[in-house]
């Protein structure tokens, strides 16, 4: 067994700055999960199979499945249910996920949408006050109002039924056993609890789980058991996802949501019974000799990553190099232009018509002409473009600034048969709604919708509607080369996910960096005009040059969690982000 060489245990647990209340729903600048320091990691090589995930216990669970002859689909079940136990602040049974899957038999990439849905009783006014103004952001997040119908459990079962080899029950056993025995609280989890102590203390079940009897938050190194989670998984092991969506578990979740003190929601058992996982065609964008394939709407990930790469391809980033501020000007303004399109056009395409030309090379070439080396685009220059609508009926839409917070988890898996998994999974904010049911946290995914339904008389594409799936930035990706898988990659991080993934691909493809070095590269991310530079890294050297070009610059923690597997030269090379606690295992 090969695993990451972690030369230094987490150096520090630096608490991220989290304002108590956001005054309105604007671009997501908060970091609700803590920065857990960095560890020195090197890539791992293997011949047959590999898994990279955000927690060693989760990665090991997937590895053991692969070692026993299981498929990538089998391993993803084991990884996810373990993550829900040991990294509960980021994902779990109470959330949703997007999966990009390469099927070695058909040689095709497809995607599975396990995104949460808005309750059928929800209205566009869910996050609006009586006078029509929008709620303060964290007033909306904490409690039942923000909880959407979870999709993760049905996604796991759907994919396992289609591609799995081992028994469903066997894949849940390791997490059941771990929940009963307890697991060691990691520095990241402990820091996250401490940083969010007030909100986690509002609900009795949540407080009882994450705090000691004396009221102090759990510390790193403590053993934490979760018998309720073990009981839930035991029920699912024997009865499948139906026990989650059509039984006592759903009833209990609905009860918790509707009775949440101060902020009840409208979720119902009807929403659970109606929930469906949707298989959707992959959205692919060309970049050099590669095709970057990912999740289309309701995710904005693949479209926005594809736009950034497509616009950037009109500049010689290879010659400019990673140390040239002009490279970051190109990438930053390409991102701003892509985010302008994202804000106006991208949403759940089952509900909102979308232009078909967002990735058209001629459209992206025109967008690239807006960029002049040496001078940042002005705020007035960064507006949504006019892509072709094709056969879709054009509609007038308003721009949207809805928040998507940087929590979430990403893992990648490759099995011996050549099947590939790239999955991003979430409960949205760190610790989601802060409500617990049956041993797991419930999502706050509905706050990914725009709180306002209209702006300047025009509808907002990402407005809340009954049954609709909120827009996401999750960007699980599989890169293809010559019709074969070349890389699986993704990251957590709210809407910065898009920049994390795009920058890593550029670093690898244009600057010839190894996949580990590309992941390690300090972050520079620009979405809405302000250039975020990763604190305490060499990215800070670009502060003055970027300010000279006209950017507002903010130096801050940027807590990605990129995991990737490279398929090259008849071997697998896996890499985990040094900013989190992830590991890679393979043989």
**pLDDT tens readout for residues 66-115:** 999 999 999 999 999 999 999 999 999 999 999 999 999 999 999 999 99
pTM: 0.93
Tell me the average pLDDT across 33-53.
82
The domain of 535 spans 2-279+402-586
Q: How far apart are CA 209 and CA 33, in angstroms?
A: 18
Q: Is the pLDDT of residue 11 over 70?
A: no
- Please tell me which residue, 23 or 53, carries the higher pLDDT value: 53
In a domain, 291, yes or no: no
What percentage of residues in the chain have a pLDDT greater than 70? Answer: 92
Tell me the average pLDDT across 290-299.
98
544 band by pLDDT with thresholds 50, 70 and 90: very high
How many C-beta atoms lie closer than 10 Å to residue 564's C-beta? Answer: 30
In a domain, 335, yes or no: no
* Res 30: pLDDT: 42
Tell me the average pLDDT across 181-209.
97
**Token pair belonging to 244:** 């989650």
226 band by pLDDT with thresholds 50, 70 and 90: very high
In a domain, 382, yes or no: no
In a domain, 63, yes or no: yes
473 carries a ligand binding annotation: yes
In a domain, 324, yes or no: no
* Res 398: pLDDT: 80
Chain centroid, CA 180 distance in Å = 28
* Res 35: pLDDT: 54
316 carries a ligand binding annotation: no
Q: Is the pLDDT of residue 17 over 50?
A: no
* Res 9: pLDDT: 32
**pLDDT tens readout for residues 464-484:** 999 999 999 999 999 999 999
494 carries a ligand binding annotation: yes
- Please tell me which residue, 210 or 23, carries the higher pLDDT value: 210
Q: Is the pLDDT of residue 24 over 70?
A: no
Residue 526 bridge partners (DSSP): 531
Q: How far apart are CA 329 and CA 545, in angstroms?
A: 10
Tell me the average pLDDT across 405-410.
81
- The torsion region of residue 511 among left (phi > 0), alpha (psi -120 to 50) and beta comes to alpha
Q: How far apart are CA 301 and CA 561, in angstroms?
A: 16
Tell me, yes or no, if 408 is annotated catalytic: yes
3-state helix, strand, coil in the chain (%, to 5): 35, 20, 45
Gyration radius from the chain CA atoms: 22
In a domain, 381, yes or no: no
Q: Is the pLDDT of residue 443 over 70?
A: yes
Chain centroid, CA 356 distance in Å = 24
Q: How far apart are CA 488 and CA 509, in angstroms?
A: 14
In a domain, 370, yes or no: no
How many C-beta atoms lie closer than 10 Å to residue 550's C-beta? Answer: 14
Among 408, 424, 447, 573, which one carries the catalytic annotation? 408
User: What is the distance between the terminal CA atoms of the chain, rounded to a whole angstrom?
Assistant: 5
Total number of domains constituting the chain: 1
**Token pair belonging to 546:** 């970027």
Instruction: Give kind and range of the element (H or E) at residue 229.
Output: helix 227-239
* Res 29: pLDDT: 39
CATH number of the domain within which 423 lies: 3.60.20.40
**What is the residue whose two structure tokens read 């520079």?**
524
199 carries a ligand binding annotation: no
Strand pairing category for 44-46 and 436-437:
unpaired
In a domain, 16, yes or no: yes
**pLDDT tens readout for residues 131-169:** 989 999 999 999 999 999 999 999 999 999 999 999 999
Q: How far apart are CA 296 and CA 284, in angstroms?
A: 9
* Res 245: pLDDT: 99
């Amino acid at each position: 067994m090969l695993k990451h060489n972690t030369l230094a245990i987490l150096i520090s647990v630096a608490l991220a700055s989290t304002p108590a209340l956001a005054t309105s729903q604007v671009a997501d600048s908060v970091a609700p999960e803590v920065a857990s320091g960095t560890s020195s990691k090197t890539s791992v090589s293997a011949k047959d199979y590999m898994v990279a995930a955000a927690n060693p216990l989760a990665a090991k669970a997937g590895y053991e499945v692969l070692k026993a002859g299981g498929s990538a689909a089998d391993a993803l079940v084991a990884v996810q249910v373990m993550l829900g136990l040991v990294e509960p602040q980021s994902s779990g049974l109470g959330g949703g996920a997007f999966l990009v899957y390469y099927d070695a038999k058909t040689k095709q990439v497809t995607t599975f949408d396990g995104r949460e849905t808005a309750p059928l009783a929800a209205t566009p006014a869910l996050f609006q006050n009586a006078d029509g103004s929008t709620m303060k952001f964290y007033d909306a997040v904490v409690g039942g109002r923000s909880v959407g119908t979870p999709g993760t459990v049905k996604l796991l079962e759907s994919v396992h039924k289609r591609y799995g080899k081992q028994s469903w029950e066997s894949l849940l056993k390791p997490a059941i056993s771990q929940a009963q025995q307890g697991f060691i609280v990691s520095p990241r989890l402990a820091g996250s609890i401490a940083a969010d102590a007030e909100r986690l203390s509002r609900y009795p079940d949540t407080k009882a789980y994450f705090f000691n009897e004396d009221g102090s938050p759990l510390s790193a190194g403590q053993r934490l058991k979760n018998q309720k989670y073990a009981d839930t998984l035991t029920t699912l092991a024997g009865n499948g996802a139906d026990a989650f969506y059509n039984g006592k578990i759903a009833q209990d979740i609905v009860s918790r949501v509707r009775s949440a003190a101060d902020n009840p929601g409208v979720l119902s058992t009807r929403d659970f019974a109606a929930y469906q996982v949707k298989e959707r065609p992959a959205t692919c964008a060309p970049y050099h000799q590669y095709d970057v394939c990912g999740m289309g709407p309701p995710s904005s990930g693949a479209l926005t990553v594809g736009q950034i790469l497509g616009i950037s391809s009109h500049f010689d980033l290879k010659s400019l190099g990673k140390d040239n501020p002009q490279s970051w000007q190109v990438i930053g303004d390409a991102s701003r232009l892509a985010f302008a399109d994202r804000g106006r056009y991208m949403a759940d395409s089952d509900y909102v018509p979308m232009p078909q030309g967002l990735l058209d090379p001629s459209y992206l070439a025109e967008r690239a002409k807006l960029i002049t080396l040496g001078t940042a685009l002005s705020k007035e220059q960064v507006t949504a473009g006019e892509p072709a609508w094709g056969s879709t009926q054009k509609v007038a839409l308003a721009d949207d600034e809805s928040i998507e917070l940087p929590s979430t988890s990403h893992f990648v898996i490759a099995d011996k048969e050549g099947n590939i998994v790239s999955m991003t999974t979430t409960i949205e904010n760190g610790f989601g709604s802060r409500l617990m049911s049956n041993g797991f946290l419930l999502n706050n995914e509905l706050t990914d919708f725009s709180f306002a339904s209209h702006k300047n008389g025009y509808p907002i594409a990402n407005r809340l509607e009954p049954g609709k799936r909120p827009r996401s930035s999750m960007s699980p990706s599989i890169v293809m080369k010559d019709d074969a898988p070349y890389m699986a990659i993704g990251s957590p991080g709210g809407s910065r996910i898009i920049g994390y993934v795009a920058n890593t691909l550029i670093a690898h493809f244009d600057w010839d960096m190894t996949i580990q070095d590309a992941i390690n590269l300090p972050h520079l991310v620009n979405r809405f005009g302000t250039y975020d530079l990763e604190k305490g890294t060499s990215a800070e050297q670009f502060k003055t040059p970027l300010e000279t070009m006209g950017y507002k610059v903010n130096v801050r923690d940027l807590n990605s969690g990129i995991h990737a597997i490279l398929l090259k030269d008849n071997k697998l090379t896996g890499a985990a982000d040094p900013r989190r606690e992830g590991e890679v295992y393979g043989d």
